[in-house]
Chains A and B, each alone.
Chain A
Amino acid sequence: MATKQVRYEALVKGLHSDLYRYAYWLTHDKQVSEDLVQETFLRAWRALDSLKDEKAAKSWLITILRRENARRFERKRFDMSEYEEDSIMDTQSTSTEQEIENEWLRDKIAQLPPEYSEPLVLQILGGYSGEDIAKLLDLNKNTVMTRLFRARNQLKEALEKEPEKARFLHEK
């Protein structure tokens, strides 16, 4: 019992941020993300004995979270509406120039089709290779690479339409 508690605490402390962010980019909703993460860890607790290798913990949790999200989708199919743009991020008083840019970029990321943004989140935030992502999402690797290409391509094009924002690409 004690060791289970210890393992669980380590997982929560080490991975809750990654999971929350991943959930956020999946759902674009902070409250839903929190709920998803809670549900994910709850299930993780119940199934903790089935996790043999701590190194695989992150992928394991992501898989649980994706499944939970799919379930949520099934439940909420009828009251799903297109998210409203201004509800994506709450309007934090964005002071610094960099924060404004971040906000702008978040908006662009949120506008990517989910099948493009999901691998991108896994690659950039999760640090997963194309092969890992293919396994996680149950796709073949070429499909993943194509989606990653398109995701970056769209973001870069968006940036280039607004030279103000693209400025940092050429700094240094």
Chain B
Amino acid sequence: MKNSTTSKDMTSETKMDDLQFRRSIYADPSSLDEDIIAAQNDDPAKKQLAQELCMLDERIKQAMSIPVPDDLCDKLLLRQTLKSHQQNKRKSRIHLALAASVAIIAGIVVNYLQFSNSYNYDNLGDYALAHVYYEQGSFSNSTNAKVSLDSLNQKMVTFNGSFSDSMGELIAADYCRFDGMKSLHLVFKGVTDTVAVFVVPKKEHLEFVDKFHDDNLQGESLSYQENDIIVVANKNESLSQWQRAISNNINWSI
């Protein structure tokens, strides 16, 4: 369309031909192109065509300007407001859910760290020490003995074992979870402090260690067919004596 500029360069006398004019004016009746305006000024017929087309455009514009639904604008604004409101609501719900999840996970982790299947301890000894420290406050050497041999043996049924004779003053005998395994935790009166005896089913994930200690406590484990027996006490106790007493006393039913 715009090759008119080149024709103008050739000679100012050159006029836009009719076809060219028609095509241009039909494509854009309100064109401000110099050549098109010049052509209109030179030729009343062209001017009239241009005016007709401008009027046509005016009419087309009117026809095209169909009524817009009155409520469209409000709808668009309202919808957006609702949407962002919902998003905020959803966000706060997500936050709540996140907080709840964190709380639950925290709970699980705490549990896990205490007694559970966690394999936080490499061997029996470490775990036994930790267990004794954890319950240190619960038992005192001065407590009077209160667990009878019978009730001890009732508890020992779980482990298919029994004691034929009392091995000392038994302060407490309770099932506990020993690194996730149901175990029996016995607390005897010792020389200066309580002596802990654990009856623990054999499991693979804890490495068996026969002797262990830290600064305050020492421990000895003895392996039986189905169970391990671990004795933990302070350094005033003779653990081997305890173990001997146990092995002399214990009867395994299988």
Do the beta carbons of A169 and B56 come within 8 Å of each other?
yes
For B73, the closest partner residue in chain A by CB is: A16
Enumerate A107-139 residues with CB–CB distance to B below 8 Å.
Answer: 109, 120-121, 123-125, 130
Give the nearest-CB partner of A156 in chain B.
Answer: B56
A115 to B69, CA, bound (A): 26
Whether B76 lies near A145 (C-beta < 8 A) is no
Does A54 sit within 8 A of B, measured CB to CB?
no
**A159 within 8 A of partner (CB):** yes
* A102–B62 CB distance below 8 A: yes
Q: A109-B60, A146-B27 are in contact. Are A21 and B79 (CB under 8 A)?
A: no
Q: How far is A114 from B156 in the complex, measured between Cα atoms in Å?
A: 91
> Which of the candidate stretches A37-45, A66-74, A77-85 sits at the interface with the other chain?
A37-45
Closest to B54 in A: A169
* Chain B residue at minimal CB-CB distance from A89: B66
Q: How many whole Å from B52's CB to the nearest CB in chain A?
A: 5
Cβ < 8 Å to A, chain B residues 1-53: 1, 22-24, 26-29, 52-53
A148 CB within 8 Å of chain B: yes
Residue of B nearest to A171 (CB): B55
Contact with A along B57-87 (1 / 0, CB 8 A): 1011111111011001101110110011000
CA distance A9 to B29 in the complex (A): 35
Given the complex, which residues of A lie within 8 Å of B27, measured CB to CB? 130, 145-146, 148-149, 152
Number of A residues near B (Cβ < 8 Å) is 46
Q: Is the CB of B65 within 8 A of A21?
A: yes
Interface string of A45-86 (1 = CB under 8 A from B): 100000000000000000000000000000000000000000
**Is the beta-carbon distance between B64 and A12 smaller than 8 angstroms?**
no
Q: Which residue of B lies closest to A159 (CB)?
A: B56
Q: Shortest CB–CB separation between residue A81 and chain B, in angstroms? A: 22
Q: How far is the CA of A148 from the CA of B24 in the complex (A)?
A: 9
Contact of A37 among B26, B66, B76 (CB under 8 A): B76
A32 to chain B, nearest CB (A): 13
Smallest CB-CB separation from A153: which chain B residue?
A: B26
- For residue B59, which residues in chain A have a CB less than 8 angstroms away from its CB? 101-102, 105, 168
User: Considering residues B23, B61, B63, which has the most beta carbons from chain A within 10 angstroms of its beta carbon?
Assistant: B63
Q: Which residues of A contact B79 (CB under 8 A)?
A: 38, 41-42
Determine if A120 and B1 form an interchain contact, defined as CB atoms under 8 angstroms apart. Answer: no
- A contact residues around B53 at 8 Å (CB): 152, 156
Known: A148-B27, A148-B28, A168-B59. A20 touches B52 (CB 8 A): no
Known: A149-B26, A156-B53, A170-B52. A17 touches B68 (CB 8 A): yes
With A16-B72, A168-B55 as known contacts, state yes or no: A145 contacts B63, CB within 8 Å.
no
**B56 touching A102, Cβ below 8 Å:** no
Q: Which residue of B lies closest to A145 (CB)?
A: B27
Asked whether A13 is an interface residue with its Cβ less than 8 Å from the other chain, the reply is yes
Residue from B52, B68, B79 whose CB has the most chain A CB atoms within 10 Å: B68
Q: Say yes or no: A155-B66 contact (C-beta < 8 A), given A34-B72, A41-B76, A148-B26.
A: no
Which A-B residue pairs are the 4 nearest by beta carbons?
A105-B63, A145-B27, A148-B27, A149-B26
A-B contacts, 22 of them at CB < 8 A, read A12-B76, A16-B76, A20-B68, A21-B65, A25-B64, A38-B76, A42-B80, A42-B83, A101-B59, A102-B63, A121-B64, A124-B57, A124-B60, A125-B64, A145-B27, A149-B27, A152-B53, A152-B57, A155-B56, A168-B55, A169-B55, A169-B56
